[in-house]
């Protein structure tokens, strides 16, 4: 424990913040939007020179279960950077910290004291706990046995003193350049008690976060020159006599609190309806302010129409410096980090993409608070699906991410590029830390988004819109599971879609249909019983003896047929065209096949896609020119779009083939943002 004078100073600062924030005690919302199970009053001091935070929090937690609670479990996320043997760093395959002697690169959080308000000291009972892998060197979960169980419906209050050593930014938290700070997952934070007990996973490389809703009152003391952005609303800024200040924020009905500070930020403001928008940006990015505000306002507008209103009064967008790019692309309630690059041209819309995506998380994670540890697709996948819709809404269907130098790439194509090269390692629904190495984002972001896009095209846009709105309205400020989403799909669509989800969510097979071949045979003479032109040698098929002209047996029909021909002309040639389509993957799905003839006529065939192959056959004077599976590109999950069509005769590769090559060439560039949260 720290010296008593340190404790007194912390308590004094906390009490001062309480006494000076009368406006903070006024609720933002007229009534609670969430259960408000876990509530935090936090007072902290940032010491930039030491890269530390001294903190105190009073935690109030209500037992909403039917169990008597024998212990509490806290996340201590900052300890992921405490040693090279933490589960996070071992899973990352990084020895960045372990290879250096400079202790300032490391990060940690220490709980100096924990007491029950009006009760005893819990310090002696605290113990590190590793529920996922038993790694004794990992200290990212703290288990605290209680001297007396918490009965159902009762509330416990704790006073906790803690000390944070900030690492250099790697996983979106820490410091860079000595005076840039982004502070996320920084305080002792309760897990979620569920029907299966405490859900308080260790900090893993791929996983993000899961917590209960509550109210946060946070007081931050730091040097006067620092510009601050944070979750919630600024209530008051109090100048102090030692060239420092205290800023006080309040956030209601959220499940996390993050903040940032730097003396170099410039502040831009905008407004959309009831929402005040703040952008903390780098001076060199003055010309990119609108590239942050435009997607934010558009997403606010359309998400309100599609799903429901954003209930908070602020949104703060953070533009980290290039040196701190690892702080970019992250979401917290009412606070997101985007990121701009000075030389990025207008036609490469990564700034807009990241801003839109991270704000979208204020719906899918922020309000619909699914478990990102165990079912990350409910957050990342749904948000990526909505991202594709928003990018199309803002910038059109073609080239809505990249439209530069003759290259056009849409969001759907971007997701497909991310997914198609390793599509069959794992199912979408799986604990985040158990995915095949390097594939987490491919499945929970890209495959999940393509799956939902395919579902929308199958059910129809109107039905899918009702699915998504119903899901948001029913599960906002709650913790839904995958089954809850499926049940809503089945309910709204008025059909059982389990067959689809069993394959695409819980299975690892791929969806791949192809036009395998087109064969055409000239028919000149009657074909004997049992003869199949497909079995004939294609090189000699056109030399088969002629087939007799078949006519109606009535005399007038024969006369009419003969009169229609010049007696010096031969009867028109007859052809048999056969198109073989094939299912290469394990996923079965109904497909449409467009058959085009040389005279321009078209036939649309429907195949249930269940058998391994199917053959379409046409006989007449016109030959088939081409065949195309899924001509409207509805099946976004199809892993190989290049085998979906075939022509009867070889054609020049042309510009389309070059476009496909371009997609492959820039795949690595796109991967830079494919794993953003």
- In degrees and rounded to multiples of 5, residue 206 shows phi and psi of -95, -25
- Check residues 7 and 212 and name the one with the higher pLDDT: 212
pLDDT at 316 over 70: yes
Q: Clarify whether residues 39 and 129 are in a common domain.
A: yes
Listed residues 362, 393, 415: the one ending a domain: 362
Q: Clarify whether residues 167 and 93 are in a common domain.
A: yes
pLDDT at residue number 650: 59
Q: Classify residue 231: in a domain, yes or no.
A: no
Per-residue confidence band for 662, with pLDDT thresholds at 50, 70 and 90? low
Q: Clarify whether residues 59 and 87 are in a common domain.
A: yes
How would you list the strands of the sheet with 227-230, edge to edge?
Answer: 174-176, 180-183, 259-262, 227-230
pLDDT at residue number 95: 52
Q: Clarify whether residues 193 and 73 are in a common domain.
A: yes
How would you list the strands of the sheet with 591-597, edge to edge?
Answer: 602-607, 591-597, 624-629, 645-647
Cα 185 from Cα 207, distance rounded (Å): 13
- 420-467 pLDDT, tens per residue? 889 999 999 999 999 999 999 999 999 999 999 999 999 999 999 999
- 571-606 pLDDT, tens per residue? 788 999 999 999 999 999 999 999 999 999 999 999
Q: Classify residue 254: in a domain, yes or no.
A: no
- 295-306 pLDDT, tens per residue? 999 999 999 999
Q: Clarify whether residues 49 and 115 are in a common domain.
A: yes
Listed residues 332, 362, 392: the one ending a domain: 362
Percent of the chain topping pLDDT 90? 77
Q: Classify residue 471: in a domain, yes or no.
A: yes
pLDDT at residue number 538: 38
Nearest to 417 by CA among 442, 396, 435, 395: 442
Q: Clarify whether residues 488 and 545 are in a common domain.
A: no
Total domains, the chain: 4
**Mean pLDDT, the chain, integer:** 87
Q: Classify residue 12: in a domain, yes or no.
A: no
Listed residues 508, 527, 546: the one ending a domain: 508
Phi-psi category of residue 571: left, alpha or beta, with phi > 0 → left and psi -120 to 50 → alpha: beta
Tell me which residue range forms the domain holding 483. Answer: 377-508
Q: Within 10 A of 315 (CB to CB), how many other CB atoms are there?
A: 24
Whether 44 contacts 56, CB under 8 Å: yes
Give the pair of three-digit tokens for residue 255: 């499940």
Q: Give the number of residues written for the chain.
A: 677
Sort strands 214-223 and 38-47 into parallel, antiparallel or unpaired.
parallel
Q: Classify residue 582: in a domain, yes or no.
A: yes
Whether 579 contacts 625, CB under 8 Å: no
308 burial class (0-12, 13-18, 19+ CB within 10 angstroms)?
Answer: middle
Q: Classify residue 27: in a domain, yes or no.
A: no
Q: What is the CATH number of the domain that holds 272?
A: 1.10.390.10
Q: What is the CATH number of the domain that holds 538?
A: 2.60.40
Q: Within 10 A of 604 (CB to CB), how many other CB atoms are there?
A: 9
Cα 628 from Cα 615, distance rounded (Å): 13
pLDDT at 100 over 70: no
Cα 260 from Cα 182, distance rounded (Å): 4
- Convert 28-90 into a string of H (helix), E (strand) and C (coil): CCCCCCCCCCEEEEEEEEEECCCCEEEEEEEEEEECCCCCCEEEEEEECHHHHHCCCCCHHHH
Per-residue confidence band for 92, with pLDDT thresholds at 50, 70 and 90? confident
Q: Clarify whether residues 499 and 528 are in a common domain.
A: no
- 373-383 pLDDT, tens per residue? 999 999 999 99
Q: Clarify whether residues 501 and 517 are in a common domain.
A: no
Q: Classify residue 189: in a domain, yes or no.
A: yes
Q: Classify residue 114: in a domain, yes or no.
A: yes
516 burial class (0-12, 13-18, 19+ CB within 10 angstroms)?
Answer: middle
pLDDT at residue number 17: 46
Q: Clarify whether residues 390 and 532 are in a common domain.
A: no
Q: Clarify whether residues 422 and 470 are in a common domain.
A: yes
HSE toward the beta carbon, residue 109, CA cutoff 13 A: 29
pLDDT at residue number 241: 86
Q: Clarify whether residues 531 and 577 are in a common domain.
A: yes
pLDDT at 15 over 50: no
pLDDT at residue number 171: 82
pLDDT at 224 over 80: yes
Q: Clarify whether residues 187 and 273 are in a common domain.
A: no
pLDDT at 658 over 80: no
How much is the pTM? Answer: 0.86
Ranges assigned E (strand) in 454-589: 513-523, 574-583
- Check residues 547 and 200 and name the one with the higher pLDDT: 200
pLDDT at 5 over 70: no
């Amino acid at each position: 424990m720290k010296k008593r004078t340190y404790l007194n100073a912390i308590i004094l600062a906390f009490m001062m913040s309480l006494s000076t924030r009368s406006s903070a005690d006024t609720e933002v919302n007229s009534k609670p939007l969430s259960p408000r199970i876990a509530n935090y009053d936090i007072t902290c001091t940032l010491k930039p020179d030491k890269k530390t935070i001294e903190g105190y929090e009073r935690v109030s937690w209500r037992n909403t279960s039917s169990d008597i609670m024998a212990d509490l479990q806290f996340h201590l996320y900052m300890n992921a950077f405490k040693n090279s043997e933490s589960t996070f760093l071992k899973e990352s395959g990084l020895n960045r910290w372990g290879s250096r002697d400079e202790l300032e690169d490391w990060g940690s959080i220490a709980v100096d004291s924990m007491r029950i308000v009006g009760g005893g000291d819990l310090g002696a009972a605290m113990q590190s706990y590793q529920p996922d892998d038993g790694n004794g060197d990992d200290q990212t979960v703290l288990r605290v046995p209680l001297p007396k169980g918490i009965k159902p419906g009762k509330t416990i209050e704790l006073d906790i003193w803690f000390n944070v050593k900030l690492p250099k930014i790697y996983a979106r938290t820490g410091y860079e350049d000595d005076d840039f700070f982004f502070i996320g997952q920084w305080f002792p934070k309760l897990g979620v008690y569920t029907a299966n007990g405490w859900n308080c996973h260790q900090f893993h490389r791929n996983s993000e976060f899961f917590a209960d809703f509550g109210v946060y009152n946070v007081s931050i003391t730091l040097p006067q020159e620092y510009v601050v952005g944070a979750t919630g609303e600024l209530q008051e800024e109090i100048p102090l006599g030692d060239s420092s200040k205290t800023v006080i924020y309040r956030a209601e009905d959220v499940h996390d609190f993050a903040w940032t500070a730097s003396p170099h930020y410039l502040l831009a403001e905008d407004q959309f309806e009831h929402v005040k928008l703040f952008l903390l940006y780098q001076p060199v990015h003055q010309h990119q302010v609108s590239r942050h505000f435009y997607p934010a306002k558009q997403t606010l507008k359309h998400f309100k129409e599609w799903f429901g209103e954003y209930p908070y009064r602020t949104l703060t967008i953070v533009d980290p410096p290039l040196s701190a790019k690892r702080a970019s692309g992250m979401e917290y309630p009412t606070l997101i980090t985007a990121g701009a690059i000075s030389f990025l041209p207008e036609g490469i819309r990564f700034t807009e993409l990241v801003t839109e995506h991270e704000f979208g998380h204020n719906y899918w994670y922020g309000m619909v608070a699914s478990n990102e540890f165990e079912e990350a697709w409910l957050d990342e996948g749904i948000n990526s699906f909505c991202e594709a819709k928003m990018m199309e809404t803002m910038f059109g269907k073609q080239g809505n991410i990249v439209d530069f130098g003759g290259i056009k790439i849409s969001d759907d194509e971007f997701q497909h590029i991310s997914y198609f090269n390793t599509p069959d390692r794992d199912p979408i629904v799986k604990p985040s830390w158990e995915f095949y190495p390097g594939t987490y984002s491919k499945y929970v972001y890209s495959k999940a988004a393509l799956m939902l896009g395919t579902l929308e095209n199958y059910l129809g846009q109107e039905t899918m819109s009702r699915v998504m709105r119903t899901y948001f309205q029913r599960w906002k400020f709650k913790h839904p599971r995958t089954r809850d989403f499926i049940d809503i799909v089945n309910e709204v669509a008025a059909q059982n879609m389990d067959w689809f989800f069993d394959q695409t969510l819980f299975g690892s097979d791929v969806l791949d249909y192809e036009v395998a071949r087109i064969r055409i045979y000239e028919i000149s003479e009657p074909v004997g019983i049992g003869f199949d032109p497909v079995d004939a040698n294609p090189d000699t098929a056109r030399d088969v003896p002629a087939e007799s002209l078949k006519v109606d047996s009535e005399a007038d029909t024969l006369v009419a047929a003969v009169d229609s021909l010049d007696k010096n002309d031969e009867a028109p040639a007859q052809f048999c065209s056969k198109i073989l389509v094939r299912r290469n993957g394990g996923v079965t799905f109904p497909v449409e096949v467009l058959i085009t003839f040389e005279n321009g006529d078209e036939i649309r065939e429907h195949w249930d896609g269940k058998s391994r192959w199917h053959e379409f056959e046409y006989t007449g004077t016109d030959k088939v020119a081409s065949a195309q599976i899924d001509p409207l590109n509805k099946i976004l999950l199809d892993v190989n779009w290049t085998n979906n069509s075939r022509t009867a005769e070889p054609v020049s590769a042309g510009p389309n083939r070059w476009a496909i090559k371009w997609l492959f060439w820039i795949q690595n560039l796109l991967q830079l943002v494919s794993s953003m949260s």
